[in-house]
Amino acid sequence: AQSVTQLDSQVPVFEEAPVELRCNYSSSVSVYLFWYVQYPNQGLQLLLKYLSGSTLVKGINGFEAEFNKSQTSFHLRKPSVHISDTAEYFCAVSEGAGNMLTFGGGTRLMVKP
């Protein structure tokens, strides 16, 4: 069975500072990895995904993530955050195309002025 762990439930950071949101997963097979963002009272918006190929994936809003198979990690990074990046971020994994998604517990990014 697959599982996802987001190590930080909350990450406070000042505006224009860099940020890294951590995600580790466990699975016995190859996986697809996703990061979603959720703004208050809204659904989830796909930030980026890793399916295969280059381990560095670039997404929307200046975010990127790096797949590290040996460390079973898929950490999300942004070099300079904005107030508008304040939201809940979810890491998710699926074992194969179209299979169910398993979500991590979420990380609340709080950007302070």
Partner 1 sequence: GAVVSQHPSWVICKSGTSVKIECRSLDFQATTMFWYRQFPKQSLMLMATSNEGSKATYEQGVEKDKFLINHASLTLSTLTVTSAHPEDSSFYICSARDLASVDTQYFGPGTRLTVL
Binding site for partner 1 (CB under 8 A): 32, 34, 36, 41-46, 49, 51, 90, 94, 97-98, 100-106
CB of 4 to partner 1, least distance (A): 9
Is beta strand 107-112 parallel, antiparallel or unpaired with respect to 10-14?
A: parallel
Token pair for 39: 């703004």
Q: Which is nearer to partner 1, 15 or 103 (CB)?
A: 103
CB of 51 to partner 1, least distance (A): 6
For the chain, how big is the Rg over CA atoms in Å? Answer: 13
CB of 14 to partner 1, least distance (A): 23
Q: Which is nearer to partner 1, 18 or 105 (CB)?
A: 105
Q: Which is nearer to partner 1, 9 or 68 (CB)?
A: 9
Cross-strand bridge partners of residue 36: 46, 90
Question: DSSP assignment of 57-72, as one string?
Answer: EE-GGG-EEEEETTTT
Find out whether 87 and 19 touch, Cβ atoms under 8 Å.
Answer: no
